[in-house]
Structure 1
Amino acid sequence: MRIKSILAASGASLVLAACTTTANDMDMASTSTSAAPMADAGDMGTAKPAELASLIDEVEIPYEKFTLQNGLDVIVHTDRKAPIVAVAVWYNVGSKDEPKGESGFAHLFEHLMFNGSENAPEDYFQYLQEMGATDYNGTTNFDRTNYFQTVPTAALERALWLESDRMGYLLGAVTQQKLDNQRGVVQNEKRQGDNQPGGLVFYEIIKALFPAPHPYDHTPIGSMADLDAATMDTVQKWFRDNYGPNNATLVLAGDISPEQARPMVEKYFGPIARGPVNEPAMAEITELSSDVRTVMKDQVAATNIAKYWTAPGMLDRELTALTVGTQILGGLASSRLDNALVRDEKLAVGVSAGNFSFQRVGILNVSATARPGVDPALVEKRLNELVADFIRTGPTEDEVRRAATSTVSGTIRGLEQVGGFGGKAVTLASGEVLADDPDYFAKQLEILATLTPGEVQAAMQRWMTRPSMTLVLEPGERDGTYEEAASVAAAPTSAEDAIAEEQITVTKIRPKPPIAGTAELDFPDVQHVTLANGMRLNYAQRDAVPATYVTMSFDAGSAADPRDKRGLESLALGLFDEGTTTMSSQQIAEARERLGASISTGGGVDRSSFTLSSLSANLVPSLELMSDIIRNPAFADAEIERVRNQQLTGIQQELRTPQSIAARALAPLVYGADNPYGGPGSGTTESVQSITRADITGFKDRWIRPDNGQVFVVSDRPLNEIVTALNAVFGDWQAPNVAKGTKSFGSMAAMPTEPRVVLINRPNSPQSFILGGQRTPVDPREPTYVDFLNANNALGGNFLARLNMNLRESKGWSYGVRGAPQTNENAVGYVISAPVQADRTGDALAELIRETGDFLDSNGVTDAELERIVTAQIGELPGQFETSGAVLGAMQQNALYGRPDNYYETLAARYRAQTGESLDAAVRAAIDPDRFVWVVVGDASVVRPQLDQLGLDVEVREMGQ
């Protein structure tokens, strides 16, 4: 689980999603698995949820901590379930510590620290891939900067060498050219976020709640002007002041003991000299003198009304009470706002509430998105009334317990992961750096276990009766002028200048240690059983946590939608848990929360699925709830209209969001408008409005039935218990007396014989979104599919691929570029996506065309690329299937494409047999550089003149066409 789910409430609103800046693109754990016995499958009607106290007993992360003489704090947690170790380095510095005129420096330096150090001068992703690392990244927020990667145990020493080199030996490798390039990348990251609907809102919130001078008066991404002003002297001083070992914490979690770890840590980090210690900036909890109201316009589908209050930070005793209070108010599926505004009164299509807590301060938030056609003033009035009523009356005991159980169950299900954004390493590091206590999460759980309704009410009364900021975001053109960068990275004037600018200084030679072998993947054994209802059960046992994951997958997906009823599958799936013949949608939501269960729908274009994530102690009642949802949906007319309005609003938002605009335009051009893969899965306004209740019940009867699906289970419980439980709950499920559904793919669209461009005009866009695609003859069932994937890893498949290294790392025109297969059961497309700064749209598209053409013509996979890619793919295999969720997904992929159960265990041998020639042959048989259709979403007044210079056929469309 991500620690944020304890420290900040779920249900984050759109505008607060920007609180944490991640550059380049939190799990509480226990070694204990002694869960309470699973309820007897024969006691379905009387099975009760496990007690909250017993659930909390499952949550612990045993660790040892020691400190080096230079001040580096080291925390080690042992978890032997897989031959991998999570490595996390947290620096006690964030954007709140930036002086005036240097906003964005912490984040800018996070980028620079991925650009090479004195003994590892290449992009760090090069070294991470050599190690077979997974879950690697770096992030910056108001309070800290962190770096993390999960590596095979045999590569741990290499990982420690790498992290220590950028901690102690970085500055000699920071050149002016790297600074200019990463400044451009960060500015494009800012443009990319700001270009989204609502992307400018968070700046207004911060400005109103924490007016300057205040440590939290600016966002981590910084201002364009301050990024322009960054010089070599200022960024080097920033590093010297903040990145010493005594301002850092190293956490190792996984296949390692403290006794094994200490000598390696001493060897690589011990010689690094101490530096200054950053004393995190103190910050008062500001209070508005009176209520503030701001109205903004943007490319949003419906009006959003949001209210914000300043609050205490994460170290305050009231943190947990405020978090639970906002969950009950608008974070849970059963929340007060959901029940009143969305379900009963149908004034809103969505609501949220959250407690967004930083180290020193927090922000309480409630919001509602008005249903189109409803007066936003009425929504705002009811929102204020409901908040006031909650503060006046407080929550019930049942609401508090449900919120607590939901939090704890999410924590338990996250026990498997050692690293990544939300693993054990991050949890320990966060507590140590921000609260001076690695066990901070456990103390929050202790408070949660005994929290009373009175404590929640008192906290809400204290903080949500103070003056607030109301921000109304309305559909329309943006107001004001967008902040743009003044600087342009200066290209070297000559080859000699380029070499001089890239010259690095090595202050101490530190040879990289060898990687001590390669671990082989041991994919869990998969067993197959036929259930009493005839469904095939695919089962794998994983006992790291007391949890069970169940997916019922049906051969449907959006490809099952009739041509004139697109969006039917999406609408139907959205209705299954909105009321059954015996339970209302509110009762279903409350039952899930009492059980600590998650039941979600999805599946994609080829399959429709229902996935249960359950505590094993609560498996039987959770399965009972899942069965009722799948087998007995009421499809009540009122619920159909409510969910239809939500889907229609979502469609309108897709028509305003750059990535979605491009995807909706590209699909029919690649697959054909009449092909099942050629239409948007969410449908169109016209198609969704035409869907009737008979269409929805017909979809269920034709597609969601036991003779059209399979069951996939990953659990800590043995197979016989799982079979007994499934048969008890689903064994009597019979197929209806109607024919199963059939899909018709028909003919595909004719592909162009030369590239063409469709420009969709989205005025006032600081970035353009480029999406190019074509259909390929690739078959995912054939062995050469793996060759195609690895060839693409050289062209567009990862950070080091040529397309990204060109437009991001070389030119700084984009935050990130990817090329990837669009793999479906009956067709495989290939898509290149590139968000680029508006004034470089034409140049960027020209580079994409040139780079792709060169690669497919004569400049194929090099020996160095082959070695890097194969090494990475083999090394990553053990880490890819660390969690039950990953195993569950892999089992479904194997079933979809008819692969053997041990498919992933066979990949290492396939990778080792690959050659440059075999990869070139695979990718050149798949992609034709002359058959790309390029969709560009941007401001036509800026972009069209650039595209005209390329000599391509350009068709201009307006948004919504």
Structure 2
Amino acid sequence: MKLDYEKYKLANGLEVILHRDTRLPIVAVDLWYHVGPAKETAGRTGFAHLFEHMMFQGSGHVGEDMHFKYLEGAGASLVNGTTSFDRTNFFEDLPSNQLELALWLESDRMGFLLDKLDAKMLANQQDVVRNERRQSIENAPYGLAEEEVYHQLFPKGHPYYAAVIGSHADVQAAQLGDVQDFFRKYYVPNNATLAVVGDIDVAKTKALIEKYFGTIPAGPQVAPVNVQTPPITQEKRVTMTDQVELPRLYVGWVTSPYFSPGDAEADIASHLLGGGKASRLYRSLVYDKKIAQEVSAQQLSQSLGSVFQITLTAKPGHTTQELQAALDHELDSLATRGPTEDELAAVKNTIYSNIITSLENVGGFSGVADRLQTYNHFVGDPGYLNKDLARYSAVTTEGVKQFVADQLAKNKRLVLGVVPGEKVLPPAPPTPPMPTVTAAKVESKEPWRNEVPKPGPISTAPLPSASKFDLPNGLKVYLVENHALPVVSAEMVVRSGSSADTLDRPGLAGFTVAMLDEGTAKRDALTIASDLEALGASYGSGTARDGSTISLRSLKQNAAKTLDILSDILLAPTFPEK
């Protein structure tokens, strides 16, 4: 696999990554600022996330709340912004003839946000962010525990200690001058990378990027974060109470940083332990012992130290102590014997398939633009795709065994239990009255930016032709060839949905479709999940009012075996009662 790209810099330091893909008349614009909570200081937590919100409120030449309206009017989709510990990004997919509009909007908030940022806008977004914190942390089941995991794994003052969203006190205490200084330091061309991916004319795109971004002055040089994450040398144990129905256990470790040795082994170990129905923890705790309601494991890869987190929710009548005993048994087994070759091959197929199928989309989460940006940000090489695939391919049974034994040791972990009880909320400052005075209008130094760009000529893409044939049993088959990626997708559409439900059996259509992969005459639910994972395949189903769909996606080399599983699911379901 290869992602062709061109990377260059403007005179003001803005990095640009271009990738041409003419499969569809769509373009993805993805702008990364190399700032997140990792660059915040004590008493200033939540600033990066606060700016994620303020960047959509209007800028020097874009009216208040017009950013979304312009993009919606242009037919854009996947318009969003996200903040993680190491970066902040803003992205949108839109028709390729509307590329200039997206560049105008992104450049205006980079160069002219402070022309509109006043005390009223700041206060409004402080209120929004604090409400978001209440919804996602304080009022969410187990939300405070999720935050406490990072408080326990990282020392106070470490860039990863505070939640990305920040604390109530810090967000509310932010003064206009504080946030203006933060913006001038980090939201500048020389601390950003712009990726444009899709149906583009490279020369014209370069000219537009120069036009809209080239006159924005560079900011001060941003020093890299140089923080050592101290190791945990003794097991930490914490118990919290929350207004929840079921006990939950969080077990976490600080592990290898993103793309460093051990990170791929950690990712594979997380799949082996908690990556779906075929995983060890699901089989043991959910299916066999029936002591867990749900299980998950993930390697949350970050530049200053990753977090390997296992989350186990108890079934009614069971305890976190039971969960931990069963978890320790599985960890000891993996550390002593490692995964089987079949297990390892299955997880590698899944990861390879996930990476490859993500390239079907030019933008959005994990699409081509996001992948180019990720590689560029963390390893300095947008073309790291094959090396990324190779690092997973090189993982061995012994490597996984060693990772679990060394990095997931008992003396290096946090064990945090949540039990039903009173929710104890941290103190929060009151919300002050909303300011009524807005900043005076700033006269533009570049009045040509006041003109909203007009769309270019509509670019058309020929629809792929489909060959059609009928099977002897009457099934209609449409076959579309596409050789861009080594992936095969199949979807069965049944002309019956929720409208066929009877009054005494509401939801029957959806329930029936959801039960198809719970067992067949030849395979139980876990075997179906294991067989699909071994092939790097994914299965999905859904029901709408007038129809139901069953879909499958597979690597090309495993298409025949995957279709065999699909036919088994469709033709021989047993609908087991348990």
TM-score, normalised by the number of residues in structure 2: 0.92
Structural mapping, 1:236-315, within 5 Å:
236-315=180-259
Q: Does 1:65 align with 2:10?
A: no
Aligned partners of 1:384 and 1:565: how far apart in 2?
44
Q: Is 2:492–2:550's contact at 8 Å kept on the other side of the alignment?
A: yes
Structural mapping, 1:152-551, within 5 Å:
152-194=95-137, 195-465=139-409, 466-478=411-423, 480-492=424-436, 497=437, 500-501=438-439, 503-511=441-449, 512=451, 513-519=453-459, 529-537=469-477, 540=480, 542-551=482-491
Which residue of 76, 84, 88 maps to 1:141? 84
Structural mapping, 1:736-751, within 5 Å:
none
Shift of 1:491: 4.7
Match of residue 87 from structure 1: 29
Amino acid at match of 2:486: P
**Higher mean Cα deviation, 216-225 or 345-354?**
345-354
Q: Is 1:164–1:268's contact at 8 Å kept on the other side of the alignment?
A: yes
Aligned partners of 2:303 and 2:98: how far apart in 1?
34
Q: Is 1:154–1:517's contact at 8 Å kept on the other side of the alignment?
A: yes
Q: Which runs of 5+ in 1 are unaligned?
A: 1-58, 642-961
Shift of 1:437: 1.8
Shift of 1:371: 2.0
Residue 285 of structure 1: SS of its match in structure 2?
coil
Match of residue 624 from structure 1: 564
Shift of 1:564: 6.0
Root mean square deviation, CA, Å: 2.4
Q: Residues 305 and 559 (structure 1 numbering): CA distance in 2 closer, same or farther, change over 3 Å?
A: farther
Aligned partners of 2:262 and 2:272: how far apart in 1?
15
Match of residue 957 from structure 1: none
Aligned partners of 1:468 and 1:572: how far apart in 2?
42
Q: Is 1:64–1:258's contact at 8 Å kept on the other side of the alignment?
A: no
Which residue of 87, 98, 103 maps to 2:40? 98
Match of residue 576 from structure 1: 516
Aligned partners of 1:416 and 1:153: how far apart in 2?
17
Aligned partners of 2:382 and 2:343: how far apart in 1?
29
Q: Is 1:209–1:286's contact at 8 Å kept on the other side of the alignment?
A: no
Q: Residues 94 and 410 (structure 1 numbering): CA distance in 2 closer, same or farther, change over 3 Å?
A: same
Q: Does 1:116 align with 2:58?
A: yes
Q: Is 2:510–2:543's contact at 8 Å kept on the other side of the alignment?
A: no
Match of residue 542 from structure 2: 602
Q: Which runs of 5+ in 2 are unaligned?
A: none
Aligned partners of 1:555 and 1:483: how far apart in 2?
55
Aligned partners of 1:376 and 1:150: how far apart in 2?
44
Q: Show CA shifts across 1:748-774 (max 9, x none).
A: xxxxxxxxxxxxxxxxxxxxxxxxxxx
**Higher mean Cα deviation, 432-441 or 449-458?**
432-441
Q: Does 1:552 align with 2:485?
A: no
Q: Show CA shifts across 1:322-346 (max 9, x none).
A: 1101111211431111121222222
Aligned partners of 1:608 and 1:299: how far apart in 2?
37
Q: Residues 282 and 266 (structure 1 numbering): CA distance in 2 closer, same or farther, change over 3 Å?
A: same
Shift of 1:281: 1.9
Amino acid at match of 2:21: D
Share of identical aligned residues, percent? Answer: 36
Q: Show CA shifts across 1:600-640 (max 9, x none).
A: 2322455443211123332221111011122223444xxx3
Aligned partners of 2:516 and 2:26: how far apart in 1?
39
Q: Residues 557 and 173 (structure 1 numbering): CA distance in 2 closer, same or farther, change over 3 Å?
A: same
Amino acid at match of 2:447: I
Amino acid at match of 2:542: G
Q: Is 1:553–1:603's contact at 8 Å kept on the other side of the alignment?
A: no
Q: Residues 91 and 379 (structure 1 numbering): CA distance in 2 closer, same or farther, change over 3 Å?
A: same
Amino acid at match of 2:77: T
Q: State how many pairs are aligned.
A: 573
Match of residue 833 from structure 1: none
Shift of 1:426: 0.9
Aligned partners of 1:137 and 1:597: how far apart in 2?
29
Match of residue 911 from structure 1: none
Shift of 1:488: 3.2
**Higher mean Cα deviation, 350-359 or 363-372?**
363-372
Aligned partners of 2:131 and 2:456: how far apart in 1?
39
Residue 159 of structure 2: SS of its match in structure 1?
coil
**Higher mean Cα deviation, 339-348 or 231-240?**
339-348
Q: Show CA shifts across 1:560-585 (max 9, x none).
A: 56666666556554543233222233
Amino acid at match of 1:426: D
Q: Residues 186 and 510 (structure 1 numbering): CA distance in 2 closer, same or farther, change over 3 Å?
A: farther
Amino acid at match of 2:165: I
Shift of 1:266: 2.0
Q: Is 2:490–2:552's contact at 8 Å kept on the other side of the alignment?
A: yes
Q: Show CA shifts across 1:534-565 (max 9, x none).
A: 23345555554333322223355456566666
Shift of 1:455: 1.2
Q: Residues 534 and 433 (structure 1 numbering): CA distance in 2 closer, same or farther, change over 3 Å?
A: same
TM-score, normalised by the number of residues in structure 1: 0.57
Residue 517 of structure 2: SS of its match in structure 1?
coil
Aligned partners of 1:116 and 1:175: how far apart in 2?
11
Residue 115 of structure 1: SS of its match in structure 2?
coil
Aligned partners of 1:455 and 1:369: how far apart in 2?
29
Q: Does 1:590 align with 2:505?
A: no
- The structure number with the bigger radius of gyration is 1
Q: Is 2:514–2:542's contact at 8 Å kept on the other side of the alignment?
A: no
Shift of 1:531: 2.7
Shift of 1:463: 0.5
Shift of 1:302: 2.4
Shift of 1:486: 1.7
Q: Is 1:419–1:425's contact at 8 Å kept on the other side of the alignment?
A: yes
Residue 455 of structure 2: SS of its match in structure 1?
coil
Match of residue 877 from structure 1: none
Residue 193 of structure 1: SS of its match in structure 2?
helix
Amino acid at match of 1:226: D
Residue 576 of structure 1: SS of its match in structure 2?
helix
Aligned partners of 1:539 and 1:321: how far apart in 2?
38
